Amino acid sequence: MTRRLEGKPVADSRNAATRAAIAARGDQRAPSLVSVHRDIDSPFRFYLKRQAKAAAEVGVVFRDEAVGDAAHPEALTARLAALGRDPAVDAVLVEHPLPPPFDFPAAVGELPLPKDVDGVSPGNLGRLVAQRPVQVPAVALAAVAIARHYELPIEGEPVAVVGRSETVGLPLALLLASRAPRMNATVTLVHSRSRDLAGALSRARTVFSCVGRPGLLDRSNVPPGAHVVDVGLSSVPDPTRPGGSRSAGDANPEALEGWADSLTPVPGGVGPVTVAELMASATRAWSWATGRESPP
């Protein structure tokens, strides 16, 4: 039987640690997180609700701010620069991807590194490469938190990351290959131009999939006995569901049942842990802003 690597216990334990860290300080001012998004009915709306719920749970003051879908990219850049200067705001998350003509790296680059809570600015990504991270993408932290919690084989082991986007796959690969405790993996990075997916995954003991293509991973490419951390999140039509659709990961869970050693479910795997990591990162930014700790 394939073991289900549930995200809830990992998220609960991360949220408990964040809540305790905030309470222990007894500060008048709680950590403050602002989530900036376009004013549209995007899947990001669902994510915003989860952010608000997790923030209330741990004691982070949360608000979301719409810049307006029709806003010029300059309006977003100016707003982020203002939030970057606002001493009452510790952490800022920016919806992504953003369609052209928005220049996401330039916009998020307006934020000081500690406030770029999802670690996706060129400056934060550079710090990750330099092994001196400030903020790291929450989704990469979440995938790693799951691997650590369930003691998946990472240190010194062959692992594969499928997907190389600057905000998900690439930072995760850098984190896994880093010298951080219990990392030091031997990483194969796979992408859409890789000729032989099955060959690239054949030695991996743990596969992290960050693509957004339901059903990509099955018995034809995942080696038997591998652990699969499914970061992919897509909406697929399902007339049996109230909204006519459901969430799906990159892995085909039916095909991998009895084949993979373990697999994170979608939904309920990496997603809740990502939100918990976001709250932990916002709380770190607050510790730095209030002088309790020095930023790295």
Say which residue the tokens 């999939």 belong to: 209
Counting residues that bind ligand NAP (by CB under 6 A) gives 26
Please, which residue, 44 or 259, has the CB nearer to ligand NAP?
A: 44
Please, which residue, 71 or 98, has the CB nearer to ligand NAP?
A: 98
Task: Provide Rg for the chain, Cα atoms.
Answer: 19
CA dihedral 198, 202, 206, 209 (to 10 degrees): -10
User: To the nearest whole angstrom, how small is the minimum distance from the Cβ of residue 157 to ligand NAP?
Assistant: 21
Does 83 help bind ligand NAP (rule: CB under 6 A)?
no
Does 50 help bind ligand NAP (rule: CB under 6 A)?
no
User: To the nearest whole angstrom, how small is the minimum distance from the Cβ of residue 23 to ligand NAP?
Assistant: 26
Please, which residue, 30 or 222, has the CB nearer to ligand NAP?
A: 222
User: To the nearest whole angstrom, how small is the minimum distance from the Cβ of residue 231 to ligand NAP?
Assistant: 5
Please, which residue, 138 or 289, has the CB nearer to ligand NAP?
A: 138
Footprint of ligand NAP on 166-205 (CB under 6 A): 167-169, 190-194, 197
Residues contacting 32, CB < 8 A, separation 6+:
60, 61, 62, 88, 89, 90, 91, 282, 286
CA dihedral 205, 206, 209, 215 (to 10 degrees): 60
Question: Hey, what amino acid is at 130?
Answer: A
User: To the nearest whole angstrom, how small is the minimum distance from the Cβ of residue 277 to ligand NAP?
Assistant: 9
For 253, 260, 263, the CA distances from 1, given in Å and listed in that order, are: 12, 8, 11
Q: Report the interface residues with ligand NAP, using CB under 6 A.
A: 139, 162-165, 167-169, 190-194, 197, 210-213, 216, 231-234, 270-271, 274
